[in-house]
Amino acid sequence: MSGNDLREAFFQECEDLLEALQEGLQQIDSPEHDPETVHAVFRAVHSIKGGAGAFGLDALVQFAHRFETVLDRLREGEISADGPTIKLFYRAGDHLSDLVAMARSGDDAAEPDGAELLGALDELAGDAEDEDLSDLSFQPMTLDLDMIGAPDPDAACEKAGQSASGAARWLIDFTPTAALYASGNDPALLFRSLAQLGALTVHADTSGVAPLETAEPGPPGLRWQLELETDAALPDILAVFEFVEGMCGLEITPAADSLYGEDGPKPALPDNAAPGEATAIDAASASDPTAAANDETSPPADAGAGGPDGHDSAPPPATPANVPGSPPMNGPTNGGKATGAPQPTIRVNLDRVDRLINLVGELVIKEAMLAQSIAQLELPNDSSLHAGLDGLKQLAGDIQEGVMAIRAQPVKPMFQRMFRIVREAAAATGKQVRLDVQGEHTEVDKTVIERLVDPLTHMIRNAVDHGLETPEERLGAGKPAEGRVMLSAAHRSGRVMIEISDDGGGVDRERVRAIAERKGLVTPGADLTATEIDNLLFLPGFSSKDQVSNLSGRGVGLDVARSEIEALGGRVLITSRAGAGTTFSISLPLTLAVLEGMVVEVAGQTLVLPISVIQETLQPSSVAIHPLGRDSHVLANRGDLVPLVDLGARLGYRSEPPVLDDRVLLIVQLDNGRRGALVVDRIHDQRQVVIKSLERNYGQVKGVAAATILGDGRIALIIDPDEVIGAGAEPPPGDMPAAATG
C-alpha cells in the first residue's frame, strides 16, 4: 500500500470507528450497558487519534486527544456518564466526525468551531496532563543474537525453513461420514489441498465398503490413510479440514521420526482426533512460506484405489505449490483461527461491482434473446435444449441475486446518522426527543441507501419540528415530556419498508386544510377525506409552519422528499391519528437494477409496466364504463369509480379508440392511494427486465420511468403509471419517443 492508499484506508477506517463510537455512546446512554462499551468507545477515539497522528492531521489529533482524555477518566471511573456528560460526548462525537470529514476533504477553511466544546471537555478532563516519564528508568533489553533463528532450542532448526530437514511427517486418518458427502464435500479436493502443503501419500482403505451387490444405502465405508510430509504447522493442516469439521473422523498424528516438541498448543481438533498426540512445534515454518513450498522434492502421491463405483477419488500427484516470491504481507494469515473473529470482509471499488451488475444485466438480456430464438425453432417440448435453457435461466437468476447481494448494505449506518439529526433538531426546537431504531440490519441496495439519506433526514427533521409537541404541550396532554421518534426498516414482500413515526399530536387537519385553502391548493369547501387532507402535506408549496422555521422549512417541503423517494421507485404514505402521532411509511424496491415487469403492447409499441403497481387485469366487456365530461370515462370497480386512461392516447401514439372491445384494462395503484385503469392492447409476458436509465441516455420524459432491452433486442419503455394517469389535465406530450428498434 502506498502512503495515499493508507491515507484513504485511514478515512475508511474512521467511518467504521465513528460508527462504533456513536453506537457505543448510545449503549452507554442506555440503562443496561456493558463496562466493555466504555473501552470500545475509548479505543475508537484512540485509534482515530493514532491514525491522524501518523498522517499529520493536527486538528484532529488535538481534539481526539482531549476527548480521549475525558473518556479515559470515564473508563477509570473518575467521572460518571450522567445526562449532561453523555450529551457532551455526543456533541464531541459529532465534532470529531466533522473534523474527520474536514481532514478528508482537505478543506480546513470550514473548520467547525470547537472552542466551546473543547472548554467543556477540558473541564471534565481535569488536570490530567501527560505524565512526565523522564524519571522512568526503562532500558531496552537486547535480544541475544545467538538465539536469533532459534527461539526454542527444542524446536530448533537453524535458519528456519532453509533446510529441508525441517519438514515433518504427519499421519492422517480420515473417515468421512455420510454428512460430508451429503454437504457436497469431496475428499479428493481435501487431499488436493493437503498436497499443496507438501508431499502427500494417499491410501484408500476400502475394506469397510460393502460389495456392490449387497450394498444398502447407509453409512459410507471408505476410509483413507494419508501421509503428509510438510513444513506447514498443524493449524495449517487442520485448516484444510475446517469445513468438514464434525463430518468426519479425523486423526492427525506426527510420524514417529518427525520433529516435535512437548509444549505445543493443544489445538481444538475435530471430533475423533487425538489432541494429546497431535501437538507439534515446527520451527522451520516460521520461515517464508515460499521456502516451505519450494523445498519439496515431492514424490507423486500414490494414486490410491478408487471408490467401489470405480470412481477414482484419489488426488492427483502432489504438485509443489509455486508461490512465486509472494510478498511478506501476503503471508498466510490463517495460521491460528481466533475464536469469535468477525467475518472477514473486503472493500471493493464500487465501479467493479457496478460493472458486474451491468454484465449480469446483459447476461439476462442475452438469455432472453436466446430463449426467443429457441422458441422460434419450434422444437419438441422434451428437447434437451429447453432443459439447458431452463438451467441457464436459473443460473442467470442466481448470479443476479448474488451480485445484487454484494450491493446490499444494512441501513444501520444511515440510521446512525439520524441520531445526530434528531439531536440537532431537538436542540434547535427546544424539544426533548428520543430516537428509537428498529431493523437496522435490513439490507438495501447501496444506491438506494445513499439517495435515501436526504429525504429521510428531511422527514426526521419534520417529525421533530412539526410532528412532536413542545414539552409543555406534551405534559398538558398527559404524555411524557420527552417525545419519541421511531425509525424502522423491514423487508416486506420484495420491497423495503421504512417507517418514520412520532408520538406527537398527529396532523392538525383543520389547520392543514385552512393553509391549503389559503394557498389555493384546494378549492375552499371541497369534500376531502382525512387521508386526502394528510396528503396535502406532500403538495409543492405547502409549508404548515406559518413562519418558515430554519429547521425543516428550508424552502423544501415534504414534496421534495417525496419526489426523491419516487425517483427511487418508492412510495410514501402518511397515516395519522389525532393526539397519537403521525407515521410516514416509505416503500422502496430492493434494487434499482431490475424490475419485475408486465410486458404489454399498445398501438404496436411494446411497453413495460412495473408489476408492483398492477392490481388486476380486466376485460372491458365485463365492466361498466361510464362517460364523464366531454371525453373522459370512468369505470366502476369494487365500489369505486376509477378514471380510465388509454395508454396509447396518453403517450401520443394514437387517438382515443372509440371501442374498447378486445383490449385489456389494467387496474393500477397510484401513490396517493387512489387507483386508475389503463387501456392496453395486449399483455405479452411477465418478466424481469433490466432497468436502463433514460435520463442518462436520452433525457427525462414525463410518464416514462426508464427503458429496458427485450429478448428480441428491441428497446421498450418502462411506464410510470402515476405520471401517466396523474397527468390527466395536461395535453399529451408531443415529443414522446417511439421505441426504436434496437
Partner 1 sequence: MSLKDQLHVLVVDDMAVSRGLIVQALEWMGIRNIEVCNDAREASTRLSARPVHLVISDYNMPGGSGLDLLHTLRANKVTQRIGFILITGKADRAVIERGQKLGMNNYITKPFAPEALKTCIERVVGRL
Closest-CA residue to 694 (of 580, 623, 608, 570):
608
- Distance in Å, CB of 130 to partner 1, minimum: 7
Positions 151 through 170 that interact with partner 1 (CB under 8 A): 151-152, 154-155, 159-160
- Alpha-helical (H) ranges within 594-657 are 647-650
Query: Which span (227-235, 348-356, 530-538, 587-595) binds partner 1, by CB under 8 A?
Result: 227-235
The amino acid sitting at 480 is P
The amino acid sitting at 39 is H
| Residue 145 engages partner 1 in binding (rule: CB under 8 A) | yes
- Distance in Å, CB of 419 to partner 1, minimum: 23
Taking the least distance from each CB to partner 1, the nearer of 234 and 668 is: 234
| Residue 71 engages partner 1 in binding (rule: CB under 8 A) | no
Within 324-364, strands assigned E span none
- Alpha-helical (H) ranges within 545-661 are 558-567, 647-650
> For residue 533, what is its C-alpha cell?
387532507
For residues 283 to 302, the per-residue mask of contacts with partner 1, x marking binding by CB under 8 A and - elsewhere, is: x-xxxx--------------
> For residue 580, what is its C-alpha cell?
397519537
Positions 331 through 390 that interact with partner 1 (CB under 8 A): 331, 333, 335-339, 341
Phi-psi region of 359 (alpha: psi -120 to 50; beta: other; left: phi over 0): alpha
Q: Would you say how long the chain is, in residues?
A: 742
Q: Which of 41, 281, 403, 456 binds partner 1 (CB under 8 A)?
A: 281
- Distance in Å, CB of 40 to partner 1, minimum: 7
The amino acid sitting at 76 is E
Cβ neighbors of 66 (< 8 A, separation 6 or more) are 118, 121, 122, 125
- Distance in Å, CB of 129 to partner 1, minimum: 11
Adjacent-strand bridge partners of 147: none
| Residue 328 engages partner 1 in binding (rule: CB under 8 A) | yes
Q: Report the alpha-carbon distance of residue 287 to residue 643 in Å, rounded.
A: 78
Q: Report the alpha-carbon distance of residue 357 to residue 359 in Å, rounded.
A: 5
Q: Are 436 and 466 in contact (CB under 8 A)?
A: no
Q: Which of 109, 110, 115, 143 binds partner 1 (CB under 8 A)?
A: 143
| Residue 228 engages partner 1 in binding (rule: CB under 8 A) | no
Positions 449 through 468 that interact with partner 1 (CB under 8 A): none
Taking the least distance from each CB to partner 1, the nearer of 6 and 178 is: 6
Positions 103 through 142 that interact with partner 1 (CB under 8 A): 130-131, 133, 136, 138, 140-142
- Distance in Å, CB of 320 to partner 1, minimum: 20
**Count of C-beta atoms within a 10 Å radius of residue 627:** 10
**What's the order of all strands across the beta sheet hosting 248-254?**
198-205, 223-230, 168-176, 248-254
Q: Are 568 and 592 in contact (CB under 8 A)?
A: yes
- Distance in Å, CB of 164 to partner 1, minimum: 17
| Residue 265 engages partner 1 in binding (rule: CB under 8 A) | yes
CA-to-CA separations, 54 to 5, 61, 191, 301, in angstroms, rounded: 13, 10, 46, 51
For residues 36 to 65, the per-residue mask of contacts with partner 1, x marking binding by CB under 8 A and - elsewhere, is: ---xx--x--xx-xxx-xx-----------
Q: Which of 13, 227, 566, 712 binds partner 1 (CB under 8 A)?
A: 13
Q: Which stretches of the chain bind partner 1, using CB under 8 A?
A: 1, 3, 6, 9-10, 13, 39-40, 43, 46-47, 49-51, 53-54, 130-131, 133, 136, 138, 140-145, 147-149, 151-152, 154-155, 159-160, 233-235, 261, 263-265, 281-283, 285-288, 328-329, 331, 333, 335-339, 341
